Structure 1
Amino acid sequence: MKRDLFPEHILSEVKRGKFSPFYLFYGENEFYKNYVIEEIRKRFIPDEARELDFQIFYADEMANDLSPVIEFVSSFPFMSDKKVAVLRDIDKIRSSALNTIIGYLNDPVEFACIIFTAQKPDFRVNFFKHIKDSKKAIQFKQFNEFETISWIKRKAKEMGIEMKHEACAYLYYIVGNNLYELNSEIQKLFSCYGKDSILGLDEVKFVASPLKDYTIFDLIDTISSKRLADSLRILNTYLEREGKEKVLSILGMLIRQFTLIQKTKAILQMGGDIKRVQKEVQPYLFLAKKLIKQSHFWTEEDIDDVFLRLSEADAYLKMGLSGSLVLEQLIISICS
């Protein structure tokens, strides 16, 4: 029985500057699939050539016609020595259509690589059997407990953080083996504690665990004051208590808040005082004082960037991405 390769084997090949003309990445571990794909892309396709020599295709957009993929990899590279194509969800393509590219797999061009991705391919189908027989099928399994904890430690180390084993285990037990969510949590730790930090259980609990009940106004205030760690902690507490459906309310409140901050800053730059802020922006004195204080944390360029990131977050939510993850990344991006 032919055994599939491990992802680590592909990464080792890539580090040595080698790749095969085609691979099948299959299994449930989407995060690790995307990580390996990006490592291949970075190694062989420079950023400036990405638009021309790297392309992602989606099976549900192909209408069972795979000729665009073959045409892309068959043409010479424009700005690099290699070309890389990714065809996602290949197991959604009819077997009759898959048979049309077996000929290419038998005689592929040397300068290109096609990465097919799938969840549960049927290896009785000729196309998948051909790749398996060619020893180019790589299974991406979900990590078990030991693998996940080891991955957390390695990922943190890549970011310049030393996480003690107990801290890694705690993060695993509260998040599970979802690498997307774990990656987000590690990014939060990095944003809060910085490079060269040594993190134990208490430090991880401080960021990852809710401490008290907060209101949406507490959240908006901490974000407006660039208090990153407090903002992330309050966000988790609030969504856990109120439910994920509050995500859009938070986004709407942030748009309103930064509109007020922008107006307040403009008044102050034109020589206005708190009375004018009360008249034109916020009539309540204590809130006007708070807006003036918060406006000092942001430059005009910062505020423009915040509105751009808010627009991006809204688009991600409409695409169906996890609301809590979208907001966490939004807060990290604007408060860091």
Structure 2
Amino acid sequence: MAKKQNKDTFSEINDDIANNKLKTLYLLHGEEEYLKILYKNRIKNLLSATDNSMNYQSFYGGETEEEKIIEACETLPFLSDKRLVLVEDSGFFKKGGVTKLEEYFKDIPETTCLLFIEKETDGRGKLYKSLKKYGLVLDCSRQDEDTLKKWIMSSLKKEKLLITRDALDRFLALCGNDMENIQTELEKLISYCNGLEGIQIFDVENICCKTIENHIFEMIDLICNKRSKDALNLYYDLLKLKEAPMKILALIIRQFNILLKVRSLSNGKFSKTEMAKEAGVMTYFIDKYITMSKHYTINELIDILKYCSDTDNAIKTGLMEDKLSIEVLIVRLAT
């Protein structure tokens, strides 16, 4: 029978894997796909759970039936101590009425490891609370800046590479907080700097690619400074790179929401670190956001967001064409 677990920590699952003592029940949830894939693969590798293994069964999607999962969990492993039952994106943890699993969690056989991987969950739900009581929940949200820096520096240490503080800040600024993207860019940087004593900021600038979020950040800066022609040229460049117009609009809206938050916090009561955390941005960018926000009053930023929202609705309802509408929006905001 499953034992009650109280700690929701990555250190605990790391210990479980290192000691080959997996629990019967895990839930990985959140938007950081890198972490969910990492721990899924580590558990699969530990149990030798390949697609054609008799000790591995997987379910995917919202049509998954509770009874099928329970049946899989009750199946004994073949020539092994444990079998893995993997359930991905079931949606069970954001809707009610999943009563059979809720009751079953306390009775999962010790010969089974039941692993749920979900994008969205509701921590108030009975199923979530039951799993948390009898298993281990790992919140795979986007990691904060300090955590990402420690992870990057740890990865570089394994390669016997050092990095300057300025280079590390610039690297994160270019890569964003998506761990999969960071890992990809880090591998490129390590290969580029192989044999060097350390990584400098110019190494980062030479090798690392800007994310679309970086490009939109630059576009907003151009808009704030009324450089409409340059802002439009950047927009056209993004379209040439096959970026979807609606994604560009969504990121423009996000940037102006950040400016509104920063402008609201610019009253002398908050440190820059606190402002960055509250606005959900890296500290590397906060000075620039403060400068950009000073181009507007709070009411002006609210009006801009309303105009962006109206444009978004008009496109989605077919009243306006997406590419041209966003072009007009950029010109209007930068004029």
TM-score norm. by structure 1 comes to 0.55
Displacement of 1:131 in angstroms is 1.5
Q: How does 1:207-246 map to 2 (within 5 A)?
A: 207-208=207-208, 243-245=240-242
Task: Give the gaps of 5 or more residues in structure 2.
Answer: 211-235, 245-335
Displacement of 1:15 in angstroms is 0.5
Which whole-Å deviations, capped at 9, do the CAs of 1:211-265 have from their partners, x for residues lacking one?
xxxxxxxxxxxxxxxxxxxxxxxxxxxx966633299xxxxxxxxxxxxxxxxxx
Task: Give the gaps of 5 or more residues in structure 1.
Answer: 211-238, 248-336
What secondary structure sits across from 1:182 in the alignment? helix
> Counterparts of 2:54 and 2:18 in 1: how far apart (Å)?
23
> Counterparts of 1:59 and 1:246 in 2: how far apart (Å)?
28
What secondary structure sits across from 2:143 in the alignment? coil
> Counterparts of 1:9 and 1:25 in 2: how far apart (Å)?
13
Match of 2:137 in 1: 137
One-letter identity of the residue aligned with 2:161: E
> Counterparts of 2:83 and 2:120 in 1: how far apart (Å)?
26
For the Cα contact (< 8 Å) 1:161–1:195, is it kept in 2?
Answer: no
Q: Against the structure 1 CA distance between its residues 71 and 191, is the aligned structure 2 distance closer, same or farther, given a 3 Å change threshold?
A: farther
> Counterparts of 1:89 and 1:5 in 2: how far apart (Å)?
20
Which whole-Å deviations, capped at 9, do the CAs of 1:4-42 have from their partners, x for residues lacking one?
511222112210111111012222322112212222222
Q: Against the structure 1 CA distance between its residues 91 and 60, is the aligned structure 2 distance closer, same or farther, given a 3 Å change threshold?
A: closer
For the Cα contact (< 8 Å) 2:175–2:209, is it kept in 1?
Answer: no
More helix by share: 1
What secondary structure sits across from 1:95 in the alignment? coil
CA RMSD of aligned residues (A): 3.2
Match of 1:110 in 2: 110
Structure 1 residue 54 corresponds to structure 2 residue 56? yes
- Between the aligned residues of both structures, percent identity stands at 20
Match of 1:288 in 2: none
What secondary structure sits across from 2:8 in the alignment? coil
Structure 1 residue 71 corresponds to structure 2 residue 68? no
Match of 2:325 in 1: none
One-letter identity of the residue aligned with 1:19: L
Q: Against the structure 1 CA distance between its residues 67 and 131, is the aligned structure 2 distance closer, same or farther, given a 3 Å change threshold?
A: same
Q: How does 1:88-237 map to 2 (within 5 A)?
A: 88-92=88-92, 94-96=95-97, 98-134=98-134, 136-158=136-158, 160=159, 162-166=161-165, 167-194=167-194, 198-208=198-208
One-letter identity of the residue aligned with 1:67: E
Displacement of 1:46 in angstroms is 6.1
Match of 2:217 in 1: none
> Counterparts of 2:38 and 2:137 in 1: how far apart (Å)?
17
Match of 1:40 in 2: 43
Displacement of 1:151 in angstroms is 1.4
Match of 2:220 in 1: none
> Counterparts of 1:51 and 1:192 in 2: how far apart (Å)?
39
Structure 1 residue 25 corresponds to structure 2 residue 28? yes
